[in-house]
Structure 1
Amino acid sequence: MQETAALEHPLNLKGVEIGKVVDFDPSADRLYPFNFTVSNTELSPEILADTAVFSDWIRDHLSKVDARYGIGGYDEHRTIYARSHHFDSEEEPRRLHLGVDIWGPAGTKVYNFYDAEVHSFKFNDHYGDYGATIILKYTINGQVFHALYGHLSLDSLTGLSVGQKIAKGTAFAAFGIPEENGHWPPHLHFQLIFNLYTAQGDYPGVCQFSQKAVFLLNSPDPSAILKHTFKAALI
């Protein structure tokens, strides 16, 4: 997880108790930082082309260091998106990641870190997309923002309604299997968003590098929330 910059974070969380996003015991569990930039030459096109092989690669790396989860990705220029035409365009492909990924087993519970309401949800069923997705709306210290939870199980969408209240600490979703999560190894894409504009159940989690400044301004570093889950657990 990228270290928080010295500048004040754009989210005002002063005096607010933030809850967990996943189960994690900093005294016993380990957290492995994945690198998906071009410098990771071990991650070959052959591995990325096969979701089952890619999933095994993720699982093997976590197992080797006895880590419960893998993490990383905010403001990371990634090569892995070449595996899907979903991120391509004629002028410039999308490669810059706007959230943090938490890699772990399918079925891993996802918790709401603060009282919220359902903004929208959707099954973004394209190869390389989010799959099952939930966006929650938060108001903290008078500031409104959203959190996008992507790559969830389809069951996570069952029974949801726009405007539904989700209490802090509620296990409201779970990591999906590849057939439900956009054909990725199981993980959670966690992204903060100020302005969703007209988006419903979807918002870019990857942008063109030329648009980096604009998108990062609207999607601040999720470490401000996730540090309350993981503490100082990076290995």
Structure 2
Amino acid sequence: MALSYFEARLKSLQAHPLIHSEVSHNAYVPLDLSIHNKELEPVDVSSSKALETYIKNHLKINNAKVAFGGYLEHRAIYNRSDYFKMSQTERSRSPKEERNIHLGLDLWIEAGTAIYAPLDGKIHSFKNNTNYGDYGPTIILEHSIEDKIFYTLYGHLSLESISNLKVGEEVKQGDKIATLGTAEVNGDYAPHLHFQIIKDIQNYEGDYPGVSNQQNIEFYKTNCPNPNLLLKL
């Protein structure tokens, strides 16, 4: 499928790595957390510790430092949380309304890892999203390409990451903007960054849907293009 003009412009940009540039692309390995990955069948994906163990083993086996992936993955992990979950009755009536399709790209690496701004921008908003299974501490940056405003979201951060921010504060490409949080603060996940590109923020502040249902996926696919167009992993 041909890229839209905005997607082509994203792809043309030279972004700073989200994780320190000393971690080379050779140290990244794809990770499949979809319902189609048979290796996950014996793993209790509702447990952040069990999932972290699986991811650490995946990194070790592949001699890698960062696991990445997840854009438009259909995942079972969200079934553990009432924030995403529907009752069995609701699911049987409206299966397309179950939120289980991931809209960002995840980078799985240990808590405390520094996160850097990929582009120039400014602080649009920030918030601690405390629902079980939610983002936890979250930052949204505002950017522009040829006067076109768009946004990048950083979820599952440490509390310290949002403790001294100011809306409108300028951010330069390559600035350290955050560190990753532990499961105790990040929504109860194995430590990772949820990175998402958003064209229209729709009046959200410090938050934006990171998981869609089938019913709304065509809108979100357009409004939240593939982050790897920018990251080039």
TM-score (norm 2): 0.89
2:176 — aligned with what? 171
Deviation at 1:17, TM superposition (A): 3.3
Question: 2:14, 2:230 within 8 Å by CA — same for their partners in 1?
Answer: no
What displacement does 1:213 show? 0.4
Query: Residue by residue, what CA displacement relative to the aligned partner does 1:189-211 show, whole Å, maximum 9, x if unpaired?
Result: 00000111121100100000121
Mark the CA change 1:28 to 1:194 in structure 2 (over 3 Å): closer, same or farther.
Answer: closer
- Choose the corresponding residue for 1:7, options 3, 6, 9: 3
Aligned ranges for residues 25-174 of structure 1 at < 5 Å? 25=22, 29-44=26-41, 47-89=44-86, 90=90, 91=94, 92-174=97-179
SS in 2 for 1:61: helix
> For residues 153-204 of structure 1, what are the alpha-carbon distances to aligned partners after superposition, in whole Å with 9 as ceiling and x for unaligned?
1110011011111111101101110011100000000000011112110010
Higher fraction of helix = 2
Which position in structure 2 is the counterpart of 1:233?
Answer: none
Distance (whole Å) between structure 2 residues aligned to residue 86 and residue 220 of structure 1: 24
Q: Work out the CA distance in 2 between the residues paired with 1:14 and 1:151.
A: 25
Which segments of 5 or more consecutive residues in structure 1 lack a partner in the other structure?
231-235
C-alpha distance after superposition, 1:105-156 (max 9, x if no partner): 1111110011111111000112110011000000122211000100011110
Q: Structure 1 residues 14, 213: closer, same or farther in 2, change over 3 A? A: closer
Identity of aligned residues (%): 40
Q: Could you tell me whether the CA contact under 8 Å between 2:198 and 2:223 is conserved in 1? A: yes
Alignment of 1:177-196 (within 5 A): 177-196=182-201
Query: Following the alignment from structure 2 to structure 1, what is the Cα–Cα distance between the partners of residues 226 and 27?
Result: 21
- Distance in 2 between residues matched to 1:107 and 1:113, nearest whole Å: 18
Q: Counterpart of 2:230 in structure 1: which amino acid? A: I
- The amino acid that maps onto 1:10 is F
Partner of 1:197: 202
Aligned length: 224
Structure 1 residues 30 and 9 mapped into 2: Cα distance closer, same or farther (>3 Å)? farther
CA contact (8 A) 2:17 2:118 kept: yes
SS in 2 for 1:214: helix
Aligned CA distance change for structure 1 residues 140 and 10 (closer, same or farther; 3 Å): closer
Question: What one-letter code is carried by the residue in structure 2 that aligns with 1:70?
Answer: A
* RMSD (CA atoms): 1.9
User: How far apart are 1:83 and its partner, in Å?
Assistant: 2.2
Q: Give the unaligned 5+ runs of structure 2.
A: none
If asked which structure has higher relative contact order (CA below 8 Å, sep 6+), I would say: 1
- SS of match in other structure, 1:117: strand
Note if contact 1:9-1:224 (Cα within 8 Å) is conserved in structure 2.
no
CA distance in 1, matches of 2:24, 2:43: 37
